[in-house]
Amino acid sequence: MKFLRNLLAAILGCLIAFGILSVMFFFFAALVGNAGNGVVVRENSVLKISINEPIYDYYGSDENDPFAGLFEKGQGLDEILHAIKVAKTDNRIQGISIKNNFLLAGLAQTQELRKALEDFKRSGKKVYALSDYYSQKDYYLASVADKVFINPQGLMEFKGLSSEVLYYKDVQEKSGIKMEVIRHGKYKSAVEPFLTDTMSEENRTQITELLGSIWNQMLTDIASSRDISVEELNVIADTLGARTPQMAINSGLLDGLRYQDEYQKDWKETLGVGEDKDLNVISLSDYINVTKNKNISLGKDKVAIVFAQGEILYGEGNRDVIGQGTLMRALRKARENDNIKAVVLRVNSPGGSSLVSDIVWREVVLTKEAKPVVVSFGNVAASGGYYLAVGADRIFAEPTTITGSIGVFGTIPNIHELSNTIGINAEQVGTNANSVDYSFFEPMKERFRRQLEEGVQMTYDTFLERVSEGRKMTKEAVNEVAQGRVWSGVDALELGLVDELGNLDDAITAAAEMAGLDGYGIRKYPKYKSDFERFMEDFSSAKLKIGESVIKEELGDKTFQTLKELKRMTEQKGIQARMPYNLNIQ
């Protein structure tokens, strides 16, 4: 007994010591991280844009939180765009250098960055780009520059867009683990991989047309920047006419070969810096810290921006997940604050829980009754992401936004065949006719399937009604463009699913005009819990992230993503209003 008491005391002491050391470590790390905030922007400087972390529409950390960013890494698009806007009129900044490999941003975010850089160039300042490797997305961004260079031994992709969809029917049959599927909408192909081993013509059609629309938008932008026709760009892609650095130069996509020292020499000549002098370069992260409060209107009247980003799941929500808890509070704060005269809802979501989408939709409608509400779509606003937005006054989408996908489905995992194979027999006992509705270990009963189909149909009808009311279209007209099909922003405008093409700034301007505002400030919602707070609240999640990183390193990115997608599908709860597939455009 004494031994157990001493053992428990020792364990408790170790845990307390570990907790104290952890807090001290985090505090020290925070102090070190904040020690570099005394950054000075020198005269005749170049702003270096090199984004090596995932880009969120909004990072949402409390700027007074000393522990922000200790675990997860990311950058807010809103902060990047603001920094470029400030740099345009900052006499100390004479140019922008784009140095990026493998940009971790969506196409709509990349397009917003291009527009910001185009605006910067109107000041007469230069933008140059250099990379060792240009993916198509990296080149799309870099093509806005006055000069685009590549390492002499570098590589470049320019071949057109593609997407790959994995199918699991055969592996289900071999493993005895299957997904029971109920869906509505002939294009609602999120569940297609569990029903067949080949792509349906409907799915192939929508993916082909979606990729074509996005590719044409990218080519239009590149053609304008590089003075090459869209037709010529397609010929270059079809013939792989940019597969070597010299071929890319000959085709007009690039301006020259440069090593890093040669690239710096170009900048020195442009800025009139002597060869024996150092080039003044400031990183994007440092410049963001220096300028985050510059050129911000502080008027009493405000336009609120409420960010909804990530998969839609029932619960509180965070930076990566839309939950009704966080979004409802954010919209209510904006609605009830008398200084806030208009609200912009920024949506970047592939959808998810139809229940949560409807809850947030209701808050948007209530907010619209009190003040103007304008929606801005980011990379994707599909299915549930579209659902929660249709109650607003106006909707803006980027040309490359993936949207629509008006359709629903439900999936339930079943291991009846596997349990038979390995010798598991499940017996059920219930008090009423329907008390035992479904077992993981037994085939789905037809009665229960009919119940699920009824629920899916009801949810789909409600979805159509929400869109019909919000977009002022007949229910029949909505159904024609629904069926779970996804559209680009350009196509969505033609179909009446959105009101205008434009970015977040365009949506903010429209909201301010609707509220009759001349001068106004911006207030952003929500504020997310810091990484440190989340770590302390749920230590198991931190262990999970460490475990995921180890598995990913061992299996490779592609295999890991496949397993993660299977895990996500098996964990879905309730009827889903979700994008028809996990679209990875390459």
Q: Is residue 184's pLDDT more than 90? A: no
The SS3 of residue 90 is coil
Residue 200 maps to a domain: no
Are 262 and 313 within one domain? no
Q: Can you tell me the mean pLDDT for 382-408?
A: 95
Question: How much is the pLDDT for 32?
Answer: 44
Q: Is residue 542's pLDDT more than 50? A: no
Q: Is residue 65's pLDDT more than 60? A: no
More confident residue, 488 or 73: 488
383 noted as active-site residue: yes
Which candidate, 584, 485, 491, places its Cα nearest to that of 217? 491
**Beta-ladder partners of 499:** none
Residue 561 maps to a domain: no
Are 276 and 334 within one domain? no
pLDDT > 70 in the chain, percent: 80
Are 315 and 356 within one domain? yes
Question: How much is the pLDDT for 416?
Answer: 87
- Of 502, 520, 539, the residue at which a domain comes to its end is 539
pTM: 0.84
Q: Can you tell me the mean pLDDT for 56-74?
A: 68
Q: Can you tell me the mean pLDDT for 63-69?
A: 55
Count of the separate structural domains present in the chain: 2
Question: Quick count: other Cβ atoms within 10 Å of Cβ 562?
Answer: 15
Question: How much is the pLDDT for 541?
Answer: 46
Sort 297 into a burial class: Cβ within 10 Å, 0-12 / 13-18 / 19+.
exposed
Question: How much is the pLDDT for 185?
Answer: 62
Distance between CA 562 and CA 557 in Å, rounded? 9
DSSP of 455-469, one letter per residue?
Answer: HHHHHHHHHHHHHHH
Residue 65 maps to a domain: yes
Are 281 and 336 within one domain? no
Are 274 and 307 within one domain? no
Distance between CA 388 and CA 330 in Å, rounded? 14
Residue 549 maps to a domain: no
Question: How much is the pLDDT for 483?
Answer: 84
Q: What is the mean pLDDT of the chain?
A: 86
Residue 526 maps to a domain: yes
Are 358 and 476 within one domain? yes
Task: Kindly name the residue from 125, 126, 188, 529 that is annotated as catalytic.
Answer: 188
Residue 184 maps to a domain: no
Q: Can you tell me the mean pLDDT for 501-505?
A: 96
Question: How much is the pLDDT for 71?
Answer: 55
Question: How much is the pLDDT for 512?
Answer: 97
The band of 1, judged by pLDDT with boundaries at 50, 70 and 90, is: low
Distance between CA 99 and CA 550 in Å, rounded? 29
More confident residue, 547 or 513: 513
Task: Kindly name the residue from 135, 285, 383, 419 that is annotated as catalytic.
Answer: 383
Are 386 and 353 within one domain? yes
Are 265 and 359 within one domain? no
Question: Quick count: other Cβ atoms within 10 Å of Cβ 567?
Answer: 9
Are 314 and 265 within one domain? no
∠ CA(139), CA(56), CA(556), 5° rounding?
70
Are 412 and 488 within one domain? yes
Range of lowest pLDDT (178-182, 314-318, 434-438, 553-557): 553-557
- Of 500, 524, 539, the residue at which a domain comes to its end is 539
The band of 22, judged by pLDDT with boundaries at 50, 70 and 90, is: low
Are 399 and 475 within one domain? yes
Q: Is residue 566's pLDDT more than 80? A: no
213 noted as active-site residue: no
Give the strand pairing for 576-578 and 321-322. unpaired
Q: Can you tell me the mean pLDDT for 483-503?
A: 95
pLDDT > 90 in the chain, percent: 61
Question: How much is the pLDDT for 144?
Answer: 98
CA distances from 368 to 345, 460, 497 (A): 11, 24, 18
The band of 127, judged by pLDDT with boundaries at 50, 70 and 90, is: very high
More confident residue, 438 or 127: 127
Q: Can you tell me the mean pLDDT for 204-228?
A: 95
Question: How much is the pLDDT for 33?
Answer: 46
DSSP of 93-139, one letter per residue?
Answer: EEEEEE--SS--S-HHHHHHHHHHHHHHHTTT-EEEEEEEEE-HHHH
Instruction: Supply the DSSP symbol for 516.
Output: T
Q: Name 73's Cβ contacts closer than 8 Å, sequence gap at least 6.
A: 53, 54
Which candidate, 286, 274, 421, 350, places its Cα nearest to that of 108? 350
Its domain, for residue 314, covers 302-539
Residue 572 maps to a domain: no
Q: Is residue 34's pLDDT more than 50? A: no
Residue 24 maps to a domain: no
- 304-340 tens-digit pLDDT: 999 999 999 999 999 999 999 999 999 999 999 999 9
Q: Is residue 280's pLDDT more than 80? A: yes
Q: Can you tell me the mean pLDDT for 269-276?
A: 93
Q: Can you tell me the mean pLDDT for 126-143?
A: 97
Q: Give the best-scoring range by mean pLDDT among 189-198, 420-429, 531-540.
A: 420-429
Are 518 and 386 within one domain? yes
CA distances from 435 to 268, 299, 415, 418 (A): 77, 60, 21, 25
The band of 292, judged by pLDDT with boundaries at 50, 70 and 90, is: confident
Q: Is residue 586's pLDDT more than 70? A: no
More confident residue, 55 or 191: 55
CATH number at residue 443: 3.90.226.10
Q: Residue 147: CA atoms inside 13 Å, Cβ hemisphere, count? A: 18
Question: How much is the pLDDT for 74?
Answer: 83
Range of lowest pLDDT (22-26, 47-51, 105-109, 302-306): 22-26
Question: How much is the pLDDT for 333?
Answer: 97
The band of 293, judged by pLDDT with boundaries at 50, 70 and 90, is: confident
More confident residue, 581 or 299: 299
Contact 538, 315 (CB under 8 A): no
- Of 229, 259, 291, the residue at which a domain comes to its end is 291
Q: Residue 4: CA atoms inside 13 Å, Cβ hemisphere, count? A: 1
Q: Can you tell me the mean pLDDT for 516-526?
A: 93
